[in-house]
Amino acid sequence: MKSPRSKLSRRNFLLAVGAGSAVATAALVTQKSSEVQPQDQGKVADPKGYRLTQHIRNYYRTAKV
């Protein structure tokens, strides 16, 4: 019979791979977000209605399929 330790080490390995890929993805996303163009400072934004802010640009960038 196999020892339960081998199952635990396999699970730990799979957890580490999953966590590592999540960290790598986060690093790529933050690297790309630093390349975003700055907003035009000369325009006066209307306080009402739809505004294209950095938060919304980030959402659009991450929602691409």
Token duo for residue 14:
């799979």
Please, where are the H alpha helices in 1-65? 4-33, 54-62
pLDDT digits (tens, 9 = 90+) for 1-30: 566 555 668 888 888 888 888 888 888 777
pLDDT digits (tens, 9 = 90+) for 40-51: 665 665 567 888
Torsion of CA 49, 54, 56, 60, to 10 degrees: 140
The answer to whether 29 and 62 are in contact (CB under 8 A) is: yes
Which pLDDT value is given to residue 59? Answer: 93
**Whole-prediction pTM value?**
0.35
